[in-house]
Structure 1
Amino acid sequence: MRINKKGSLIALLLAVCVLAFASLAAAADKAPVLRMATTTSTDDTGLLDYLAPICLKDTGIDVQWVAVGTGKALEFGRNGDVDVVLTHAPSQEDKFEAEGYGVDRRKVMYNDFVLIGPANDPAGVKGKPVIEAIATIAEKQQKLVSRADKSGTHTAELKLLDKAGVKDFDKAAWYVQTGQGMLKTINIAEEQGGYALTDRGTFIKYDAGLDGREGLVIICEGDAELLNKYSVMAVNPEKHPEAKHDLAVKYIEWITSPKVQQDIANFKLEGKQLFFPDADPAK
């Protein structure tokens, strides 16, 4: 009987893949579970799906997460619903830590925020400093579409509105409050021909999915006010003894290690780097 070597090789490779997947699934079934609350940007971009199997392989920890705005993520931490938080709103994180809910805080990575809007730029603010752009959008009553969910992005947006001297915007018709995550908010902004503040990683994800249609474009970028930093913190076991502090610390050490920092740098979409390592090498 003649043996089809090519077919046999393909069958062998498929068998190896199936066995590898089964082995990983079995490992996940037996692995201790770390509960994490994090932001929509880490989930929407695919970063967490990319890191989860690496973490399972490196540490034996099965990370299970809920992706919400930073405010809600920290609320989960306050309530003891999770063991660790990965967020990007320094002012809220400071408060969380000062109140004694978070410990072992470490920097992880950064990217930046960008102001996006229609390509025809109805407010005429493209390329201007972002604070001037925000002030002009408000003055001309062009739509600014906000997550309005106490997320890290929403917190950054509120600071920009304050620096721009914009008052009572939350009652204005031009200020559209979605109460949704970042990708949904971008899509609503596109539908309504409005502007929005977003982290660059989620914008890259959105832009990659346009499939030829004209969508929103970057209007303002590069300002110091637009830096977007992510940190990780364990839930304080003194507040919540049931929290898996040992797993949280192991995860924190893992995600800030040189090896995983490089993994984060290697995570790209259409050749574009979405996040940049920011862990303190001295710790």
Structure 2
Amino acid sequence: MKRRSLILLTLAAALCGNASAQQTLRMSTTTSTDNSGLLAYLLPIYEAKTGTKVQVISVGTGKALELAKNGDVDVTLVHARAAEDKFVAEGWGIDRRDVMYNDFIVVGPESDPDGIKGSKDVIAAFRKMAAGPAKFISRGDNSGTDIMEKQYWKQAGAQPTGARYVSAGLGMGEVLTMAAELQGYTLTDRATYGVYQAKTGLAIAVQGDPKMFNPYGIIAVNPAKHPGINYKGAKQLIEWITSREGQAKIAAFKPSGQQLFYPSAK
């Protein structure tokens, strides 16, 4: 009986040890990395390699940085460079690294009611959309895409008014679906559009302007601001996703044969 009890105690201790050995990492990120399927592809590889469980909170970039600022996550992966630099400069984040990039595009109905299809000048296209008959569906959620859209309207010096401008307050996938339902235009990252293209039937109207470059960065929450965060785990993820292996995995992510993100770690 004593021998059996000893074996049970040993097994229990081993199970507890395994449970404590698996660390948890909390990450806030944009809806584009989630909606595109990138994280569903990438994170299981990292988790199997490190024994870390990554908990993902997918929101707009503004909210993702706010969660990091409050210490509610350990690391953040976002795409709004000016906001990222401000976050780091104010001391909330450290170890920022470039991860990858793609681009923004304007998509809309095949019929192209605002006459912008084929344009490579995003500001000129936004001026036409401000005056045209179709609706424009905005993220309206302080995401990286929403921040970029607001900059385009400012540079265009005009914006749709009244019912023609719909501020959805939703993620990219939902906004693409809404644009299809309302036969309107929207600004989207190319990755999420790639996943939703067949579902929505929306066509690319504007692409190729250098102003539509869309870089992503990863930042660890500063442990000096929030001593309880998992900085070791955050640093480990940053090192892996910017390593040769992590970058190769990002480049290899090609749903339906189309590359959606391009590695950019230095």
1:254 aligns with 2:240: yes
Give the fraction of aligned pairs with identical amino acids, expressed as a percent: 50
Question: Helix, strand or coil: the match of 2:137?
Answer: strand
1:30-85 deviation digits (Å, cap 9, x = unpaired): 52000000000100111111111110122222111100000000000011000000
Equivalent residue for 1:245, pick from 202, 222, 231: 231
| Structure 2 alignment gaps of length 5 or more | 1-17
Tell me how far apart the structure 2 counterparts of residues 142 and 207 of structure 1 sit (CA, whole Å).
19
1:98 matched residue in structure 2: 89
Tell me how far apart the structure 2 counterparts of residues 122 and 209 of structure 1 sit (CA, whole Å).
20
Equivalent residue for 1:216, pick from 202, 210, 221: 202
Equivalent residue for 1:172, pick from 140, 158, 162: 162
Equivalent residue for 1:198, pick from 188, 200, 210: 188
* TM-fit CA distance, 1:141: 4.4
1:144 matched residue in structure 2: 136
The one-letter amino acid of 1:238's match is A
Aligned 8 A contact 2:113 2:133 in 1: no
1:235 aligns with 2:226: no
Aligned 8 A contact 1:28 1:56 in 2: no
Tell me how far apart the structure 2 counterparts of residues 119 and 267 of structure 1 sit (CA, whole Å).
28
1:47 aligns with 2:38: yes
1:157 aligns with 2:149: yes
Greater shift after overlay, 190-199 or 122-131?
122-131
Aligned 8 A contact 1:146 1:175 in 2: yes
The one-letter amino acid of 1:233's match is I
Question: Helix, strand or coil: the match of 1:115?
Answer: strand
Tell me how far apart the structure 1 counterparts of residues 170 and 47 of structure 2 sit (CA, whole Å).
30
Tell me how far apart the structure 2 counterparts of residues 86 and 112 of structure 1 sit (CA, whole Å).
16
How many residue pairs end up in the alignment? 248
Tell me how far apart the structure 2 counterparts of residues 255 and 243 of structure 1 sit (CA, whole Å).
19
1:264 matched residue in structure 2: 250
Aligned 8 A contact 2:113 2:132 in 1: no
The one-letter amino acid of 1:124's match is G
Question: Helix, strand or coil: the match of 2:163?
Answer: coil
TM-score scaled to structure 2, two decimals?
0.90
2:14 matched residue in structure 1: none
Question: Helix, strand or coil: the match of 1:270?
Answer: helix
The one-letter amino acid of 2:113's match is P
Aligned 8 A contact 2:76 2:220 in 1: yes
* TM-fit CA distance, 1:93: 0.8
| Structure 1 alignment gaps of length 5 or more | 1-26
Q: Alpha carbons of 1:29 and 1:147: their partners in 2 closer, same or farther (altered >3 Å)?
A: farther
1:118 matched residue in structure 2: 109
Tell me how far apart the structure 1 counterparts of residues 228 and 130 of structure 2 sit (CA, whole Å).
47
Tell me how far apart the structure 1 counterparts of residues 187 and 20 of structure 2 sit (CA, whole Å).
39
Question: Helix, strand or coil: the match of 1:173?
Answer: helix
Aligned 8 A contact 2:97 2:219 in 1: yes
1:70 aligns with 2:61: yes
The one-letter amino acid of 1:252's match is I
TM-score scaled to structure 1, two decimals?
0.85
The one-letter amino acid of 2:138's match is S
Aligned 8 A contact 1:28 1:62 in 2: no
